[in-house]
Structure formats: C-alpha cells, structure tokens
Chains A and B, each alone.
Chain A
C-alpha cells in the first residue's frame, strides 16, 4: 500500500491502468489473488468436465460411429446415423406422448401457482401444507414408480379408494394408451408439483410486504393483489417454469420407464433412445438421437425466450 505514489513518479506507460502491478511484491500477491478463485474452482470444474462435458463430447463422437456399446471395434460412419434418424419418421412419432405431459405441466403450473398464492397469505397450518406439497419431490423417482404401480393395480389403492365411494370401475388404469399416458402424466404432476410450488412461493415471498399493505389500504381484493402484484412479480420464475416443463415433457423418462417400460403406447423419446442403445445395441444411432433431442430442447427454449423475453420487472 505504501507504494501507491510510485507510478505517479514515473512517466505513465500506455497501460497505466495496470497501476501498481509494476512493483514486484504486490504483483505476486495479485497473481495469487487472481489464481485463488481458480484454485477453488478446480474441484467443481474437474467434476463438471469429467461427468458432464466429457461424456457429452463422447456421446457426440459416438453419434458419428456405428458402435454397438461393447465391441472394441468401432468405425466412423459420418452422418449416416443422422440420415437414418431423419428418414425414419416413426422415430419421432413418440413425441405425441409428450403432449400428455405438456398438458399435465399446464395443470401442474396452474395448481402450483394456486397453492403458492394461497399459502403465501396467512393460512392456518401453512407450514404443514407446504411440507405436504413439497414432500413428493423429495422421493426418489424409481420409488414413486413402484408405489404408483401398486396404486394403479387391479384392485390396488386407487380401486380401493374409489370403492369406498361406491364406485367400482374395474378399469385397467394402464390398460389403454390414453388411460395409461394420462395416469402416468398424473403421477408426474404429483411428483413435480412441489418444485414449481416452492419456486413460486419463494418468488411471491420475495415481493416486499409493504406492497400488499399499501394495496390493502387502497382496498384491493385478494384477486386484484394477485393480478397486479403477484403475477407481474413472479413473471421471470413463471417463464423459467414453463421452459423447464416444456423441456421436461420432451424428455420424460423415469416414471414411464419404471411403470410400463414404454408398453401400451407410453414410449417416450428417451425410452426409445435407451432401447435403441441397450436392447438393439445401436449405440451410435441412439447417441445421434440423444444429440437431436438436446438440439430440439435448445431450439424450443430459444424460441420461447424469443416469444417471451424475460423483462426486468419493476414493481415499485
């Protein structure tokens, strides 16, 4: 610190903005200061590279080969996998299944918003209800799959509960494509509602309390408070939730894979990709499919951001 006068004593070099860097001792300190964040970042970056980017790069590389997943030999096939993918329209038909999940995610966001708004006001047992709503999100997806398998079984939980109300449908819940996909999408709503709910609740609670007080003094009803304070206040989070839901609907996997394995018209694009890779040993083609899915998700997100730009919200 004592040498701050030093540069002033000398004619200023063109890059004078570098300032005291000329002095040897502090330069070492500065270098350390520059390096320190990177030292802290080494561990997470190494993990990120090893477990996210390296496999991704590998996958992209495999998508240009005919690798079968085990054979020590693989040959370069250029864009053949991509050509095959795009000349087989039936491989993209499974995206219709995503429609069920897309509709479900609309329901999910609406329900999450509803609960978040209600529980942001002073309601009795609100913490209990918060817990109840968030809890399913903490359960492992595989466990949820098994639980709901019993739920939908013939004479299972759902049938018993309906039986209590005197309804005896005898319906095979996973029996037809429509019923099965609706049931599975319902499970998905049950599971992911909690995450949306917490996001919305956090956003709502970050709105300063004075706004509500002021609104109440002005005689605004709850409905009006929602319309003019909460809704604009949580727009960025709403936008994020929509993006997550759309990309989530395109890449549904866990729940249908555990519960039906893709039978009875519940096959999603990811299940199809897994089957290509691990049943039919077409790892190259499956990698290409995964790359295409990634690109589709990126494209959808980009379009969405274009249509709904994420404005700065200024409530006050």
Chain B
C-alpha cells in the first residue's frame, strides 16, 4: 500500500468536493420590484452598491439619503462604494448578496438581466417618461434605469483654440485635423491627448457610433454589417484617431500618460483637446478651479461630421440602477431608484442630461442647442447582440485593446497599414457574426 497515493488521492477527492460546493446556485427569475403606493409606508434597510466612491467619501450620498428619508421615513439606506466596481460586483454576483440596489455591471449579458434583477415595469409603461429604457429592456420589461445621460464629445480649451485662430467648430474630420495643426503651430499646447495608458479614455471613441451617420439604427448596423466598412461611423472615428496620432498631433509619449494629471493640463491650456463625454466637463471645471484658471474655458464640441448641415450627438446612459432579484426589500429599493432618478437632482448636480424626457437640457449642452446640434437616442434592441459579437470576436470595441494597437500603428510602433488593420478587425467581426448565427 502506497501511503503517498492514498494521501494524494484523498486530497484530490477533498478538493473536488470543496469545488463542488462552490458551483453556481440556482436562479430565481421573473420577480418584479413594484413601487410602494404610499412612500411613507416603504420599510426596510437597503444597501446601495455604487461606483461613486468620491461621493460616498465626501458625504454627498449621505445627504441624498437624508433627503430621501424625508419622504420615505421607513427606509434606511446604506452605501457600499467600490473602487473596482466592475471587478468586485461581478464576483459578488455569483452569490445572492450583491446589495439591494446596484448599477448593472457592463459584463452582465442582457439576456441574463431577468436572472439577476427585478423588473421595474414594462417598457411601454416607462418609455414615455424616461430615456434609455431600451438599454435594459428584455422581453418588453425594463430592468434598469440610468440616473443620468451622457453625450460624447470633444472637451477643448477655448482659449487655446482661439489663440490658434479657430472659433467655429470644425465640420469634417479633415478640418478638425487642420485645426489641430493650427493649435500645434500657433500655441505650445499638445493638440490632442490620447490618455493611452489609462485605456478607458480610448474606449470612449466607440461612442462616436451614430454621430457620423446621424442614424438612430447605428447599433443595429454594427450587429448586421461591418463596423469598419467605408464611411461607417467607427471607421471614420478610428481613421481620425489614427490621423491625429500619425500627424504628430498627439502627446509625445502616449505610453506613460496620466488621467488625473491630464485634467489640470487641459484646464491650464497645456492640452488643447480630448475626446470624452459631457460627464467629464464637471471634472475639468473642478480641475480648472483648483488650478486657478477660468472654468468657463472648458468647451465641449460634437464630433466633426454633419448630415444635412447639422451636427448629431448621441445620448447614452451611464450605469443603470437595478434592484437585486434576491432583495428582501424590493419595494424600498424601487422607491430609492425612482426617487434618485426623478427627484434627487443628481443629474443637475453632475451637469448631465436628465433621464426624464421632459426635463430641459443641462447648461453645458446649451451651446449644442444654439448650434442646432441634433440629439439622437440610439435604438438598442440589438445592443446585446453587438456585445456578444464583440466578445466572441475578441475585437473589443468596448475595450481599449484594439485602439491601443491603432495608436501604436499610427506612431509606427507596430507594423502594418490602417486599411489592413481595420480590414482585419472587420473580418474577425464578420466571422464571429456568422458563427453566432445572426
């Protein structure tokens, strides 16, 4: 009898046993989180998972909770702020304990929403009042509600652009490049900052989708065609990014960029332009105040493309709040979401687009209104399919990798040409699309 074999065998058996206990649990699906008829009657203690660690630390969220308690005295709200929100919540969602209210992590597939979240009501009922209901609708039921909406665009330092002699928003990518060249030759500023190292700012370029063609069906087009076909939105965007970097209009060493440091640089005019979104304006103005420059220098402009003489800008939701399907206090959780969306003033405080269709545009989008920029809501019925294709093909239009490769290509750190590069992406995309059978 070999004792070692017995020992190894029993360890293996125990390991298997232990691993069997960690398997996925059963699923309960199809629960509804209905709003309480009388807010004062909602009872219970709810935990809200949030990515806004800054707002929890400075007490802003507590203030919201106190305000909420004025109308809902029976509900005790606690916040659980997570720095690595996506990573931690993804793992917690393997259990039943992921708070009562949470932001839907990007990793969750739309078709799985009913397994994880309680429905907030039917789309027909909610879409009249709210924006973005499309983005969380599965089988006609809505599972999440974004408290704010964002509009992608270029943040730019108005003074720097003026000094370069540019006063009007460029209307084509070529003119945009000319303007950046003017910034380069007439000022000391870095015309465009990629934020390459921090990765996610590059991912923002995918939000161009829809702005070029001014087509509300832009997402559907991604699911049904080649995103990098001639004239397609993403091709126009990626070509512009490529040309900016190739033309030497971006920062000298993209590999060691720093997001936090880039904010005061834009405010001080050391950086002229960055492609981000309306959500970033608040942060940049804050940085300007800290750096002692004028917050009004921070400007916001749409993607340089026009259809019929008008710019288009796509509105899209931020993280969407949802109710945990396993929550014991669904009514209280629902009451929080409704209150936070409708009455908290969170959207106004963030200078963001309100999720309520009737609310006026925020002040930072007023130049858009004056310039006649058309705000369009994309149809997201094929959004889940696009994500599946994206993951399956490993192209990653919602991930930073391919744009990092694109920037490397543009500055000569990677071999190949732009057409081949985008062609290859398109081929992989098409392959995944056929293999998924859509």
List A contacts of B122 (CB < 8 A).
Answer: none
Residue in A54, A176, A177, A282 whose CB lies within 8 Å of B18 = A54
List A contacts of B51 (CB < 8 A).
Answer: none
Chain A CB within 8 A of B87 CB:
yes
Flag if B115 contacts A53 (CB, 8 Å): no
Closest residue of B by beta carbon distance from A54: B18
A266–B130 Cα distance when bound, in Å, is 45
What DSSP secondary structure best describes chain A's contact surface?
A: loop
Chain B CB within 8 A of A55 CB:
yes
A298–B305 Cα distance when bound, in Å, is 56
Flag if B253 contacts A174 (CB, 8 Å): yes
Residue in B27, B109, B401, B404 whose CB lies within 8 Å of A68 = B109
Flag if A74 contacts B24 (CB, 8 Å): yes
Scan residues 259-316 of chain A and give those whose CB is less than 8 A from a CB of chain B.
260-265, 275-276, 278-282
Closest residue of B by beta carbon distance from A280: B391
Flag if A49 contacts B15 (CB, 8 Å): yes
List A contacts of B115 (CB < 8 A).
Answer: 71-72
Scan residues 188-215 of chain B and give those whose CB is less than 8 A from a CB of chain A.
196-197, 199
Flag if A70 contacts B391 (CB, 8 Å): no
The total of chain A residues at the interface (CB under 8 A) is 42
Chain A CB within 8 A of B5 CB:
no
Closest residue of B by beta carbon distance from A282: B391
Flag if A70 contacts B18 (CB, 8 Å): no
A119–B27 Cα distance when bound, in Å, is 63
Flag if B19 contacts A154 (CB, 8 Å): no
Closest residue of B by beta carbon distance from A275: B401
Closest residue of B by beta carbon distance from A261: B199
B112, B253, B391, most chain A CB atoms within 10 A: B253
Chain B CB within 8 A of A56 CB:
yes
Given that A172-B253, A263-B255 are known contacts, is A49 also in contact with B14, CB under 8 Å in the complex? yes
Flag if A264 contacts B112 (CB, 8 Å): no
List B contacts of A149 (CB < 8 A).
Answer: 197, 256
A49–B7 Cα distance when bound, in Å, is 13
A172–B414 Cα distance when bound, in Å, is 14
A263–B22 Cα distance when bound, in Å, is 34
Flag if A279 contacts B256 (CB, 8 Å): no
- The smallest C-beta distance from A256 to any residue of chain B, in angstroms, reads 12
List B contacts of A264 (CB < 8 A).
Answer: 255, 404, 408, 413-414
- The smallest C-beta distance from A51 to any residue of chain B, in angstroms, reads 10
Chain A CB within 8 A of B90 CB:
yes
Flag if B24 contacts A72 (CB, 8 Å): yes
Contact with B along A34-52 (1 / 0, CB 8 A): 0000000000000001100
Closest 3 CB pairs of A and B: A53-B15, A54-B18, A174-B255
- Pull 13 A–B residue pairs with CB atoms less than 8 Å apart, ordered by A: A53-B12, A57-B19, A68-B109, A71-B109, A72-B27, A73-B24, A73-B27, A170-B252, A172-B255, A261-B197, A263-B197, A279-B399, A280-B399
